[in-house]
Chains A and B, each alone.
Chain A
Amino acid sequence: EDKVVQSPLSLVVHEGDTVTLNCSYEVTNFRSLLWYKQEKKAPTFLFMLTSSGIEKKSGRLSSILDKKELFSILNITATQTGDSAVYLCAQGGSEKLVFGKGTKLTVNP
């Protein structure tokens, strides 16, 4: 069974801090690694990574994939209270997505 592990499971920071969220995966049919942000509703798509070492960036968020070591990180710089959410990573291989449990990020003012 494919397995995606995220760490930490929860994180509390102050506005302006930089955070790094981790995602490791153990899959045999890898196509991509996806990051989603989930507030009290549907997961919203952030990034899709398919190649090692190529950083994807969107504003203060960035992510990179290491296919040799089977992990990805999501960085958020200059955090804001609006970044408070659960961040999910998922492996896309066969037709379904396999999700980790998520990292709950709380950004305090």
Chain B
Amino acid sequence: DTGVSQNPRHKITKRGQNVTFRCDPISEHNRLYWYRQTLGQGPEFLTYFQNEAQLEKSRLLSDRFSAERPKGSFSTLEIQRTEQGDSAMYLCASSLVPNLGGEQYFGPGTRLTVT
């Protein structure tokens, strides 16, 4: 399978704990994006990387969130001191730029539940 992969697929954690998610993009894609999706909503943009550079962060990305893409390949998203409001599906997507319309390809997501 050469699509976007994410690990873990599910994570249950207690409030206040730190969690880290991993995303492996499609191998030749130079852009990697993180989105968050809650029930009944479309995905909301969090941040994106072009190669190893983090180029944009949403105001949704509080100080407790940090993302890295150290070698321009896989990326990690860490949430520190988790809160119940962080419970959501965290989606990773990748794309190859330049491209005409910005199509992105999504991974299966990591579902986070904070108890």
Contacts and interface: CB of A to CB of B under 8 A. Distances in A.
Interface of A: 4, 31-32, 34, 36, 41-45, 48-50, 88, 90, 92-93, 95-102
20 contacts: A36-B106, A41-B108, A41-B109, A42-B106, A43-B91, A45-B103, A48-B101, A48-B103, A49-B101, A88-B42, A92-B101, A95-B55, A95-B102, A96-B48, A96-B58, A97-B35, A97-B93, A98-B45, A99-B43, A101-B42
Given A32-B101, A48-B101, A97-B102, A42 B108 contact: yes
A34 B33 contact: no
Interface residues of B, number: 26
Contacts of A93: 102
A36 B55 CA distance: 25
Interface of B: 4, 31, 33, 35, 40-45, 48, 55-56, 58, 91, 93, 100-109
A100 B42 contact: yes
Contacts of B55: 95
A50 B106 CA distance: 20
B107 A50 contact: no
Nearest to B101: A32
B105 A45 contact: yes
Given A43-B106, A95-B55, A95-B56, A101 B100 contact: no
The 3 closest A-B pairs by CB, nearest first: A32-B101, A99-B42, A92-B102
Given A4-B42, A96-B48, 12 more contacts: A31-B101, A42-B4, A42-B91, A42-B108, A42-B109, A48-B102, A50-B101, A90-B42, A98-B45, A99-B42, A99-B43, A101-B42
